[in-house]
Amino acid sequence: MKYKAYKDRLTKIADISYTTAVLGWDQETYMPEKGAGFRAQQIATLSGMIHELFTDKELGKTLNKLDNSKKLTEKQRRNITQTLKDYKRQKKYNREFVELLSKTQSECFQAWQQARKENNFKLYAPHLTKMIALKRKEAEILGYKKHPYDALLDQYEPGARVADLDILFKDVRSQLVAFVKKVAAAKQNDDKFMRLHYPKDKQWDFGIDLLKQMHYDFDAGRQDLSAHPFTTSFSPKDVRVTTRISENNFKSMIWSCIHEGGHGLYEQGLPDSEYGLPSGEAVSLGIHESQSRLWENMVGRGLPYWKANIKLARKYFPENLNDISAEQFWKASNIVTPSFIRTEADELTYHFHILIRYEIEKALMEGKLEVKDLPAYWNAKYKEYLGVKVPNDAQGVLQDIHWSHGSIGYFPTYSLGSFYAAQFYATAKKEVKSLEDKIENGNLLPLLEWLREKIHKHGKYYSAEELCKKVTGEKLNFNYFMDYATEKYSEIYGLK
């Protein structure tokens, strides 16, 4: 009976939490501009209610009793352990702080949208300054042993620490930088046809077809447009994705759709019988990102995928693509060149974008960098790491939505996700017979079924490290990514 009471409480919390998520989704897609103030208030109120329900003393008593129970199954025990950890963390917050953070998030998001629209960082700076102050306070509230950034990292990638990430990004510098220079020195492939005029409506329809081919379930989801592509879930039966379309950059829509589709498939694959429980949630953002990156890069930027889809692309855009082969499209999809837009970066230089944000967030949390100095610091880092001159703030420090949401500690999960993805895909190729032949025939179901069985169905039963070992036989190993990148780009660029 105690476990049922626990489950009922978490179901109720999930109901309110996902209701809040609906308001957040609407805020970023359809909400009229003048609704911003009341929407911030509504989300703050619901966030306060969630906090009160989750930190209720009775729930704490129930969790402590169940934690000592010998009658639970292993899955139930893991749910209790995870929820008790979250409960103890949430107890460190008071309702006033939760509501203030929520309200600041909504206001900061609106300010970011306006600042980006007007290319004016000063409109955003006061709100972001308030947000960073709250995140510094949050790190103190949560507590940490070595670095304030650790407290925030743990919210997105449980167990991640600055000490470990510093080593990982050292591998990026020591191995990836040299290889990217080698690629950059090679003859570049032509991708001019990607920047011809591609009508918005036709792009939309093509993107929908790509999602259907991935087996994204439109009876349990939908796609919309947003300034920054994202995925949100209200249950495994209602998972929303968004994309963005540029009529003069065909790549933008394709990779947005496939990337967010990967996130959406993970959410749709979580067990709905575990709704509201840890066993019905994604493991971590790194694992979540592994699903989007696997579909986007290993599959969607692979030659077999375009052998399957070039005819469909020509059908929609014959005037642009009739003379383009699958191999040409593949090479154009994998141009390696430094740029200043993270979401449109190639899969190799992408990790330099993450490295820059990682260093900025660490400095912000340490108090070594203040918000007013961000644009200049950002531009200097892009010159240092990518050798590019940032043209303006809208395409520079204002390009990402994350800080407006208070998502400090989120960015490293993008690199982690890419590295997990390479390791998972290498394993899938061994275990799914003729996987890339199936992809070349447009059959993506065997890969999805493998991911459902190996990753999606487990929810949070395993930690990220445990799951990686269970699926691949070893912990996260950067060499899988380097092997994948070296083999793929050596072929594309004709390197020895």
Structure tokens at 425: 């895909």
Does 260 qualify as catalytic in the annotation?
A: yes
Structure tokens at 281: 């949630």
Edge-to-edge strand ranges of the sheet holding 231-235: 221-225, 238-243, 231-235
Place of tokens 């940032």: 390
Q: How far apart are CA 225 and CA 479, in angstroms?
A: 36
Residue 106, CB-side half-sphere exposure with 13 Å CA sphere: 27
Q: Are 399 and 357 in contact (CB under 8 A)?
A: no
Q: Are 46 and 40 in contact (CB under 8 A)?
A: no
Residue 395 φ then ψ, to 5°? -100, 5
Q: How far apart are CA 200 and CA 180, in angstroms?
A: 33
Q: How far apart are CA 485 and CA 492, in angstroms?
A: 10
DSSP string, 281-343: S-S-HHHHHHHHHIIIIIITTSHHHHHHHHHHHHHH-HHHHTT--HHHHHHHTT-----S-GG
Structure tokens at 136: 């510094």
Which of these, 302, 301, 326, lies nearest to 312 by C-alpha position?
326
Q: How far apart are CA 448 and CA 422, in angstroms?
A: 16
Three-state DSSP state, 150: helix
Q: Are 402 and 411 in contact (CB under 8 A)?
A: yes
**Surface-to-core class of residue 371, CB atoms within 10 Å of its CB (0-12 exposed, 13-18 middle, 19+ buried):** buried
- Which amino acid is located at 442 in the chain? G
Helix (H) or strand (E) holding 241: strand 238-243
Q: How far apart are CA 328 and CA 189, in angstroms?
A: 8
Q: How far apart are CA 342 and CA 160, in angstroms?
A: 22
How big is the chain, counted in residues? 496
Q: Pick the catalytic residue: 99, 138, 157, 260?
A: 260
Structure tokens at 69: 């129970």
Parallel, antiparallel or unpaired: strands 231-235 and 221-225: unpaired
Place of tokens 């880092």: 381
Active site residues: 260
